[in-house]
Amino acid sequence: MHGAPPLLDLDDGGDISPADLRAWAEEAEDAARSVAGVSNSEGGGAAASRSVWGLATSHGFAGAYATTTYSLSASVLAGDVASGMQRDYAHHAARKRAHLETPEAIGRRAGERAVARINPGRLASGDRTADQLSARRAGDARVRRRRHHL
């Protein structure tokens, strides 16, 4: 390779303390537990890392670049013994802190997913399902024809 290596923009230069990460994890867990129907928590988690990668060869190449990664998660249980317990989680990771979803959004999504699993509905089986599938296929064919004519 000749010239300067490409700038990959993988590092936001951020520095976050363990106390801030703990606060993010607690905020995610609190948001998940605030969803109606959530009965327990397996906790929230937050992580951050920054790495510097360097490479040098005996042929004269020397280069380096840095990367950052941030992640947030929450895992909760919903329901009770009578309705059945269900577990779900939410997680998000990003190279840049500014692109990471908020702890509140992660926690809320985890709680909503767990609650949505309680008492799931059942699909009808038999001819009705086959008829619905045929109708869907016919609709898909109409969409394909419409796109073809555009």
Contacts of 71 (CB under 8 A, 6+ apart): 45, 46, 47, 48, 91, 92, 93, 94, 100
Task: Return the minimum-mean-pLDDT range out of 41-50, 62-71, 119-128.
Answer: 119-128
CA 77, 81, 84, 86: dihedral to nearest 10 degrees? 10
96 and 141 belong to one structural domain: no
Q: Give pLDDT, residue 150.
A: 47
Q: What percent of the chain has pLDDT over 70?
A: 79
pLDDT tens profile 84-118: 899 999 999 999 999 999 999 999 999 999 999 99
Q: Is the pTM of this model over 0.75?
A: no
CA distance 150 to 139: 17
pLDDT tens profile 40-51: 999 999 999 999
- Both tokens of 122, joined, read 């059942």
Q: What percent of the chain has pLDDT over 90?
A: 61
136 has pLDDT over 80: no
Cβ–Cβ < 8 Å for 71, 55: no
93 and 132 belong to one structural domain: no
Main-chain dihedrals φ then ψ at residue 126, nearest 5 degrees:
105, -155
Contacts of 65 (CB under 8 A, 6+ apart): 5, 8, 10, 11, 52, 53
45 and 66 belong to one structural domain: yes
139 and 65 belong to one structural domain: no
Domain residues for the domain of 142 are 124-150
